[in-house]
Structure 1
Amino acid sequence: MTLDHLVYATPNLDTTVAEIEQQLDVQMVEGGRHPGLGTRNRLLGLGGRAYLEIIGPDPEQEPPTGPRPFGIDTLTMARLVTWAAAVTDIDAAVARARERGYDPGDPQDMSRHTPSGELLSWRLTPPSKAGLVPFLIDWGATRHPTETGLPTVELTSFRARHPDPEAIRRDLSALDVHLDLDLDHGTTPTLTAVLRTDRGSLTLT
Protein backbone atom coordinates (compact mmCIF):
# COMPACT_ATOMS: atom_id res chain seq x y z
CA MET A 1 0.00 0.00 0.00
CA THR A 2 1.19 3.49 -0.81
CA LEU A 3 0.02 7.04 -0.19
CA ASP A 4 -3.15 7.87 -2.14
CA HIS A 5 -4.01 11.23 -0.63
CA LEU A 6 -3.73 13.52 2.39
CA VAL A 7 -6.93 14.93 3.90
CA TYR A 8 -6.85 18.57 4.99
CA ALA A 9 -10.20 19.42 6.60
CA THR A 10 -11.41 22.97 7.10
CA PRO A 11 -14.46 24.82 8.44
CA ASN A 12 -14.29 27.20 5.44
CA LEU A 13 -13.15 25.69 2.15
CA ASP A 14 -12.91 28.90 0.11
CA THR A 15 -10.80 30.69 2.72
CA THR A 16 -8.40 27.79 3.18
CA VAL A 17 -8.01 27.22 -0.55
CA ALA A 18 -7.26 30.91 -1.11
CA GLU A 19 -4.57 30.82 1.58
CA ILE A 20 -2.89 27.73 0.09
CA GLU A 21 -3.04 29.10 -3.45
CA GLN A 22 -1.44 32.36 -2.34
CA GLN A 23 1.27 30.59 -0.32
CA LEU A 24 2.26 28.19 -3.10
CA ASP A 25 1.28 30.36 -6.09
CA VAL A 26 -0.74 27.51 -7.57
CA GLN A 27 -4.35 27.09 -8.72
CA MET A 28 -6.22 24.21 -7.12
CA VAL A 29 -8.81 22.14 -8.99
CA GLU A 30 -12.46 21.78 -8.01
CA GLY A 31 -13.02 18.17 -7.03
CA GLY A 32 -16.76 17.98 -6.53
CA ARG A 33 -19.56 17.67 -4.03
CA HIS A 34 -20.34 14.73 -1.74
CA PRO A 35 -24.14 14.41 -1.84
CA GLY A 36 -25.71 13.73 1.54
CA LEU A 37 -22.50 14.47 3.44
CA GLY A 38 -22.70 18.25 3.12
CA THR A 39 -19.13 18.62 1.86
CA ARG A 40 -17.14 19.52 -1.24
CA ASN A 41 -13.43 19.50 -2.00
CA ARG A 42 -10.50 20.93 -3.95
CA LEU A 43 -7.51 18.91 -5.15
CA LEU A 44 -3.78 19.41 -5.66
CA GLY A 45 -1.36 16.80 -7.01
CA LEU A 46 1.61 15.65 -4.93
CA GLY A 47 3.40 13.76 -7.69
CA GLY A 48 2.66 10.32 -9.10
CA ARG A 49 -0.67 8.87 -7.94
CA ALA A 50 -0.86 11.00 -4.79
CA TYR A 51 -2.75 14.19 -4.09
CA LEU A 52 -3.92 16.60 -1.40
CA GLU A 53 -7.65 16.87 -0.71
CA ILE A 54 -8.96 19.99 0.99
CA ILE A 55 -12.48 19.25 2.20
CA GLY A 56 -14.99 21.50 3.90
CA PRO A 57 -18.70 22.32 4.26
CA ASP A 58 -20.73 22.84 1.10
CA PRO A 59 -23.09 25.79 1.68
CA GLU A 60 -25.11 24.84 -1.41
CA GLN A 61 -26.20 21.52 0.11
CA GLU A 62 -28.85 20.98 2.73
CA PRO A 63 -27.31 20.26 6.15
CA PRO A 64 -26.63 16.51 6.43
CA THR A 65 -28.67 14.33 8.77
CA GLY A 66 -25.49 13.30 10.61
CA PRO A 67 -22.11 14.86 11.30
CA ARG A 68 -19.88 15.75 8.37
CA PRO A 69 -16.84 13.49 7.93
CA PHE A 70 -13.40 14.16 9.44
CA GLY A 71 -14.81 16.15 12.36
CA ILE A 72 -15.46 19.14 10.11
CA ASP A 73 -18.42 20.37 12.16
CA THR A 74 -16.22 20.83 15.25
CA LEU A 75 -13.20 22.41 13.56
CA THR A 76 -12.27 26.00 14.33
CA MET A 77 -9.31 25.99 11.94
CA ALA A 78 -7.97 23.84 9.11
CA ARG A 79 -6.18 20.62 10.10
CA LEU A 80 -4.35 17.76 8.43
CA VAL A 81 -6.66 15.10 9.85
CA THR A 82 -5.67 11.82 8.18
CA TRP A 83 -4.45 10.13 5.02
CA ALA A 84 -5.48 7.33 2.67
CA ALA A 85 -3.51 4.33 1.43
CA ALA A 86 -4.26 2.95 -2.03
CA VAL A 87 -5.21 -0.72 -2.51
CA THR A 88 -6.37 -2.70 -5.54
CA ASP A 89 -8.50 -5.26 -3.67
CA ILE A 90 -9.90 -3.65 -0.56
CA ASP A 91 -11.76 -6.73 0.69
CA ALA A 92 -8.57 -8.82 0.57
CA ALA A 93 -6.58 -6.02 2.21
CA VAL A 94 -9.08 -5.78 5.08
CA ALA A 95 -9.04 -9.55 5.56
CA ARG A 96 -5.22 -9.64 5.71
CA ALA A 97 -5.08 -6.77 8.20
CA ARG A 98 -7.62 -8.47 10.47
CA GLU A 99 -5.56 -11.67 10.40
CA ARG A 100 -2.59 -9.60 11.57
CA GLY A 101 -4.48 -8.01 14.45
CA TYR A 102 -5.69 -4.70 13.02
CA ASP A 103 -9.28 -4.06 11.92
CA PRO A 104 -9.60 -1.23 9.34
CA GLY A 105 -13.39 -1.50 9.38
CA ASP A 106 -15.85 -2.57 6.71
CA PRO A 107 -15.43 -1.04 3.21
CA GLN A 108 -18.08 1.46 2.16
CA ASP A 109 -19.23 2.46 -1.35
CA MET A 110 -18.75 6.15 -2.18
CA SER A 111 -19.21 8.34 -5.25
CA ARG A 112 -19.29 11.91 -6.47
CA HIS A 113 -19.61 13.81 -9.75
CA THR A 114 -16.81 15.98 -11.05
CA PRO A 115 -17.67 19.53 -12.22
CA SER A 116 -17.69 18.13 -15.79
CA GLY A 117 -20.31 15.56 -14.82
CA GLU A 118 -18.06 12.48 -14.68
CA LEU A 119 -19.11 9.99 -12.01
CA LEU A 120 -16.29 8.80 -9.77
CA SER A 121 -16.90 5.72 -7.63
CA TRP A 122 -14.66 4.19 -5.01
CA ARG A 123 -14.67 2.08 -1.86
CA LEU A 124 -13.02 3.00 1.41
CA THR A 125 -12.75 1.99 5.03
CA PRO A 126 -13.72 4.40 7.84
CA PRO A 127 -10.98 6.87 8.82
CA SER A 128 -9.24 5.88 12.06
CA LYS A 129 -9.89 8.08 15.09
CA ALA A 130 -6.23 8.89 15.60
CA GLY A 131 -5.70 9.76 11.93
CA LEU A 132 -2.11 8.53 11.88
CA VAL A 133 -3.08 5.09 10.59
CA PRO A 134 -4.47 5.50 7.06
CA PHE A 135 -7.87 4.46 5.89
CA LEU A 136 -7.88 2.28 2.77
CA ILE A 137 -9.23 3.34 -0.61
CA ASP A 138 -9.85 1.30 -3.74
CA TRP A 139 -10.67 3.23 -6.92
CA GLY A 140 -11.56 0.11 -8.91
CA ALA A 141 -12.15 0.92 -12.57
CA THR A 142 -12.70 4.64 -11.92
CA ARG A 143 -10.16 7.09 -13.31
CA HIS A 144 -7.88 8.24 -10.49
CA PRO A 145 -8.09 11.97 -9.63
CA THR A 146 -4.39 12.42 -10.50
CA GLU A 147 -5.15 11.33 -14.07
CA THR A 148 -7.21 14.48 -14.68
CA GLY A 149 -4.23 16.84 -15.00
CA LEU A 150 -3.99 18.22 -11.46
CA PRO A 151 -1.49 21.02 -10.81
CA THR A 152 1.33 19.45 -8.82
CA VAL A 153 3.51 20.48 -5.89
CA GLU A 154 6.28 18.55 -4.18
CA LEU A 155 5.61 16.69 -0.93
CA THR A 156 9.01 17.15 0.73
CA SER A 157 8.17 15.77 4.19
CA PHE A 158 5.48 13.63 5.80
CA ARG A 159 5.83 13.09 9.55
CA ALA A 160 3.77 11.85 12.48
CA ARG A 161 3.98 12.00 16.27
CA HIS A 162 2.16 9.79 18.76
CA PRO A 163 2.44 8.90 22.48
CA ASP A 164 2.96 5.25 21.48
CA PRO A 165 4.73 5.23 18.10
CA GLU A 166 5.38 1.48 18.30
CA ALA A 167 1.63 0.82 18.36
CA ILE A 168 1.24 2.91 15.20
CA ARG A 169 4.11 1.00 13.57
CA ARG A 170 2.37 -2.30 14.38
CA ASP A 171 -0.84 -1.08 12.77
CA LEU A 172 1.02 0.14 9.69
CA SER A 173 2.78 -3.22 9.47
CA ALA A 174 -0.54 -5.05 9.70
CA LEU A 175 -1.79 -2.99 6.78
CA ASP A 176 1.44 -3.67 4.86
CA VAL A 177 1.88 0.06 4.24
CA HIS A 178 5.01 0.92 2.24
CA LEU A 179 5.67 4.60 2.89
CA ASP A 180 8.54 6.53 4.39
CA LEU A 181 6.48 8.08 7.20
CA ASP A 182 8.77 9.61 9.81
CA LEU A 183 7.20 8.54 13.12
CA ASP A 184 8.34 10.04 16.43
CA HIS A 185 7.17 10.19 20.03
CA GLY A 186 4.90 13.09 21.00
CA THR A 187 2.27 13.84 23.61
CA THR A 188 -0.43 14.58 21.02
CA PRO A 189 -1.13 12.55 17.85
CA THR A 190 -0.05 14.82 15.01
CA LEU A 191 0.45 14.62 11.26
CA THR A 192 2.66 17.14 9.46
CA ALA A 193 3.24 17.53 5.73
CA VAL A 194 5.48 20.04 3.98
CA LEU A 195 4.61 21.12 0.43
CA ARG A 196 6.89 23.08 -1.86
CA THR A 197 6.92 24.78 -5.24
CA ASP A 198 9.51 27.00 -6.90
CA ARG A 199 7.54 29.94 -5.53
CA GLY A 200 6.98 28.96 -1.91
CA SER A 201 6.50 26.30 0.75
CA LEU A 202 3.71 25.41 3.15
CA THR A 203 3.49 23.27 6.28
CA LEU A 204 0.20 21.51 7.00
CA THR A 205 -0.34 20.16 10.53
Structure 2
Amino acid sequence: MAETPSTFMLKPGDPAPSFELPDPQGKRHAWNEVAGPRGTLVVFACNHCPYVILIADTLGKLAAEWKTKGLGVVAISSNDIENYPQDAPAHMAAFAAEHGWGFPYLHDDSQDVAKAFGAACTPDFFLFDGNGELFYAGQFDDSRPRNGTQPDGGDLASAVEVMLAGSPAPAEVRPSTGCNIKWKPGNEPAYFG
Protein backbone atom coordinates (compact mmCIF):
# COMPACT_ATOMS: atom_id res chain seq x y z
CA MET A 1 0.00 0.00 0.00
CA ALA A 2 2.08 2.90 -1.28
CA GLU A 3 1.07 6.44 -0.37
CA THR A 4 0.71 8.76 -3.34
CA PRO A 5 0.36 12.49 -2.70
CA SER A 6 -1.97 14.58 -4.82
CA THR A 7 -0.20 16.81 -7.31
CA PHE A 8 -2.63 19.75 -7.37
CA MET A 9 -2.80 20.42 -11.11
CA LEU A 10 -5.63 22.87 -10.43
CA LYS A 11 -4.69 26.06 -8.64
CA PRO A 12 -6.86 28.15 -6.30
CA GLY A 13 -9.33 30.20 -8.34
CA ASP A 14 -9.27 27.81 -11.32
CA PRO A 15 -12.71 26.86 -12.67
CA ALA A 16 -14.03 23.38 -12.09
CA PRO A 17 -13.61 21.12 -15.11
CA SER A 18 -17.01 20.22 -16.49
CA PHE A 19 -18.04 16.59 -16.73
CA GLU A 20 -20.95 14.27 -17.35
CA LEU A 21 -20.54 10.79 -15.88
CA PRO A 22 -22.81 7.83 -15.13
CA ASP A 23 -23.74 6.51 -11.71
CA PRO A 24 -23.88 2.72 -11.17
CA GLN A 25 -27.43 2.58 -12.58
CA GLY A 26 -26.31 4.35 -15.77
CA LYS A 27 -27.96 7.71 -15.02
CA ARG A 28 -25.66 10.49 -16.18
CA HIS A 29 -24.85 13.44 -13.91
CA ALA A 30 -23.36 16.70 -15.16
CA TRP A 31 -21.44 19.30 -13.14
CA ASN A 32 -24.39 21.70 -13.09
CA GLU A 33 -26.59 18.94 -11.61
CA VAL A 34 -24.27 18.06 -8.74
CA ALA A 35 -23.02 21.57 -7.96
CA GLY A 36 -24.43 23.20 -4.84
CA PRO A 37 -25.51 26.85 -4.68
CA ARG A 38 -22.80 27.67 -2.12
CA GLY A 39 -20.07 25.31 -3.31
CA THR A 40 -19.23 21.81 -4.46
CA LEU A 41 -16.94 19.10 -3.18
CA VAL A 42 -15.52 16.64 -5.71
CA VAL A 43 -13.99 13.52 -4.16
CA PHE A 44 -11.98 11.02 -6.17
CA ALA A 45 -12.57 7.69 -4.45
CA CYS A 46 -12.88 3.97 -5.03
CA ASN A 47 -14.23 0.94 -3.20
CA HIS A 48 -11.09 -0.99 -2.29
CA CYS A 49 -8.61 1.66 -1.11
CA PRO A 50 -7.99 1.41 2.66
CA TYR A 51 -7.63 5.21 2.87
CA VAL A 52 -11.12 5.67 1.39
CA ILE A 53 -12.62 2.90 3.53
CA LEU A 54 -11.17 4.52 6.66
CA ILE A 55 -12.86 7.90 6.05
CA ALA A 56 -15.99 6.75 4.19
CA ASP A 57 -18.46 6.83 7.11
CA THR A 58 -17.24 10.21 8.33
CA LEU A 59 -17.43 11.62 4.80
CA GLY A 60 -21.02 10.42 4.52
CA LYS A 61 -22.01 12.14 7.78
CA LEU A 62 -20.23 15.40 6.95
CA ALA A 63 -21.68 15.48 3.42
CA ALA A 64 -25.21 15.13 4.80
CA GLU A 65 -24.58 18.10 7.11
CA TRP A 66 -22.98 20.17 4.34
CA LYS A 67 -25.90 19.49 2.00
CA THR A 68 -28.17 21.36 4.42
CA LYS A 69 -25.82 24.35 4.07
CA GLY A 70 -25.96 24.41 0.27
CA LEU A 71 -22.84 22.39 -0.54
CA GLY A 72 -23.06 19.82 -3.31
CA VAL A 73 -20.96 16.68 -3.01
CA VAL A 74 -20.02 14.13 -5.67
CA ALA A 75 -17.62 11.18 -5.61
CA ILE A 76 -15.91 9.87 -8.74
CA SER A 77 -14.17 6.53 -9.22
CA SER A 78 -11.63 6.58 -12.04
CA ASN A 79 -9.81 3.31 -11.35
CA ASP A 80 -9.08 0.73 -14.03
CA ILE A 81 -11.86 -1.81 -13.41
CA GLU A 82 -10.33 -4.49 -15.62
CA ASN A 83 -7.42 -4.86 -13.21
CA TYR A 84 -9.37 -3.74 -10.12
CA PRO A 85 -12.85 -5.29 -10.61
CA GLN A 86 -13.84 -4.53 -7.01
CA ASP A 87 -14.06 -0.86 -8.07
CA ALA A 88 -16.52 -1.56 -10.90
CA PRO A 89 -19.93 0.14 -11.01
CA ALA A 90 -21.56 -3.16 -10.01
CA HIS A 91 -20.06 -2.68 -6.53
CA MET A 92 -20.21 1.11 -6.21
CA ALA A 93 -23.86 1.47 -5.14
CA ALA A 94 -23.46 -1.02 -2.29
CA PHE A 95 -20.29 0.72 -1.09
CA ALA A 96 -22.02 4.11 -1.12
CA ALA A 97 -25.06 2.76 0.73
CA GLU A 98 -22.92 1.00 3.33
CA HIS A 99 -21.17 4.26 4.19
CA GLY A 100 -24.18 6.58 4.08
CA TRP A 101 -23.19 8.41 0.92
CA GLY A 102 -26.31 10.35 0.02
CA PHE A 103 -24.56 11.98 -2.93
CA PRO A 104 -23.83 10.73 -6.46
CA TYR A 105 -20.98 8.25 -6.87
CA LEU A 106 -19.96 8.31 -10.52
CA HIS A 107 -17.75 6.20 -12.76
CA ASP A 108 -15.04 7.79 -14.94
CA ASP A 109 -14.29 4.90 -17.28
CA SER A 110 -12.14 6.95 -19.68
CA GLN A 111 -10.21 8.47 -16.76
CA ASP A 112 -10.44 11.81 -18.58
CA VAL A 113 -12.18 13.53 -15.66
CA ALA A 114 -9.46 12.46 -13.21
CA LYS A 115 -6.89 13.88 -15.61
CA ALA A 116 -8.83 17.15 -16.01
CA PHE A 117 -8.78 17.63 -12.23
CA GLY A 118 -5.20 16.43 -11.86
CA ALA A 119 -6.38 13.81 -9.39
CA ALA A 120 -3.59 11.52 -8.26
CA CYS A 121 -4.86 9.43 -5.37
CA THR A 122 -7.87 8.05 -3.59
CA PRO A 123 -9.18 9.90 -1.77
CA ASP A 124 -8.39 13.24 -3.41
CA PHE A 125 -10.51 16.30 -2.51
CA PHE A 126 -11.36 19.38 -4.58
CA LEU A 127 -13.58 22.02 -2.96
CA PHE A 128 -15.07 24.69 -5.23
CA ASP A 129 -16.88 27.84 -4.14
CA GLY A 130 -20.33 28.93 -5.29
CA ASN A 131 -18.79 30.41 -8.45
CA GLY A 132 -17.25 27.05 -9.35
CA GLU A 133 -13.70 28.20 -8.58
CA LEU A 134 -11.24 26.02 -6.69
CA PHE A 135 -11.11 27.04 -3.03
CA TYR A 136 -9.27 24.10 -1.44
CA ALA A 137 -7.46 20.97 -2.62
CA GLY A 138 -6.01 19.04 0.27
CA GLN A 139 -6.34 16.27 2.78
CA PHE A 140 -9.44 15.13 4.66
CA ASP A 141 -7.56 15.00 7.97
CA ASP A 142 -4.49 13.41 9.58
CA SER A 143 -5.99 9.91 9.80
CA ARG A 144 -4.24 7.09 7.96
CA PRO A 145 -5.03 3.36 7.92
CA ARG A 146 -2.18 2.47 10.26
CA ASN A 147 -1.60 5.54 12.42
CA GLY A 148 -4.44 4.95 14.91
CA THR A 149 -5.97 8.39 14.34
CA GLN A 150 -9.74 8.28 13.92
CA PRO A 151 -11.08 10.31 10.99
CA ASP A 152 -12.95 13.51 11.75
CA GLY A 153 -12.50 15.35 8.44
CA GLY A 154 -10.95 18.25 10.32
CA ASP A 155 -8.88 19.80 7.53
CA LEU A 156 -11.63 19.58 4.93
CA ALA A 157 -14.37 20.62 7.38
CA SER A 158 -12.35 23.69 8.34
CA ALA A 159 -11.97 24.64 4.66
CA VAL A 160 -15.72 24.20 4.10
CA GLU A 161 -16.48 26.31 7.16
CA VAL A 162 -14.28 29.24 6.15
CA MET A 163 -15.51 29.08 2.56
CA LEU A 164 -19.17 29.19 3.63
CA ALA A 165 -18.31 32.09 5.96
CA GLY A 166 -16.81 34.04 3.06
CA SER A 167 -13.33 33.98 4.59
CA PRO A 168 -10.08 33.42 2.66
CA ALA A 169 -8.86 29.91 1.89
CA PRO A 170 -6.41 28.30 4.32
CA ALA A 171 -2.86 29.51 3.68
CA GLU A 172 -1.24 26.20 4.52
CA VAL A 173 -2.67 23.04 3.02
CA ARG A 174 -1.51 19.46 3.44
CA PRO A 175 -1.93 17.40 0.27
CA SER A 176 -4.31 14.47 0.04
CA THR A 177 -2.65 11.14 0.66
CA GLY A 178 -3.85 7.72 -0.37
CA CYS A 179 -3.48 4.97 -2.93
CA ASN A 180 -2.59 6.08 -6.42
CA ILE A 181 -5.39 6.12 -8.97
CA LYS A 182 -5.18 2.83 -10.85
CA TRP A 183 -4.55 4.05 -14.38
CA LYS A 184 -5.27 1.82 -17.34
CA PRO A 185 -2.01 0.58 -18.88
CA GLY A 186 -0.74 3.25 -21.25
CA ASN A 187 -3.25 5.83 -19.98
CA GLU A 188 -1.09 7.26 -17.20
CA PRO A 189 -1.11 11.08 -17.21
CA ALA A 190 2.09 13.07 -17.65
CA TYR A 191 1.92 14.17 -13.98
CA PHE A 192 1.90 10.53 -12.73
CA GLY A 193 5.08 8.83 -11.67
Structure with the greater relative contact order (CA < 8 A, sep ≥ 6): 1 or 2?
2
Larger Cα Rg: Structure 1 or Structure 2?
A: 1
The structure with the greater share of residues assigned to helix is 2
Query: Same-fold call, TM > 0.5?
Result: no
Alignment TM-score, normalising by the size of structure 2 = 0.31
The structure with the greater share of residues assigned to strand is 1
